[in-house]
Amino acid sequence: MVKHIVLWRLKDSAHGNPKAENARLIKQKLESLRGVVPGLLSIEVGIDFGKTEQSFDVALYAEFESKKALEGYQDHPAHKAAVAFIREARDERFVVDYEP
């Protein structure tokens, strides 16, 4: 099993939307990958409510069957569509992938 964690800080506005709306759309787009991407065992997207200086705006936690499944996720057209939206809406991105 592989765990994939991503944190994003979003721009105040992008795509003609305020940050909060983009966070909601990112959550919706990523969670719609459930059952679509082979090898994706679970996916959870959270929107930060703390709003501190240290906070990120959106967090992704996903589990994959294997490293190969994670690679397939990265190349999957549905994931690439979500990434295109996120890339324009984000200021910063941090990621960690690991095997427990």
* pLDDT of 3: 98
CATH at 53: 3.30.70.100
> What are the pLDDT digits (tens) for 14-61?
999 999 999 999 999 999 999 999 999 999 999 999 999 999 999 999
Full domain range(s) for residue 49: 2-98
For residue 75, the model assigns a pLDDT of 97
The label of the residue with tokens 């809406």 reads 89
User: In angstroms, rounded to a whole number, what is the distance separating the alpha carbons of residues 48 and 91?
Assistant: 15
* Res 90: pLDDT: 98
Number of domains in the chain: 1
pLDDT digits (tens, 9 = 90+) for 55-79: 999 999 999 999 999 999 999 999 9
Give the per-residue pLDDT at 15. 97
Q: What is the pTM of this model?
A: 0.95
- pLDDT at site 73: 98
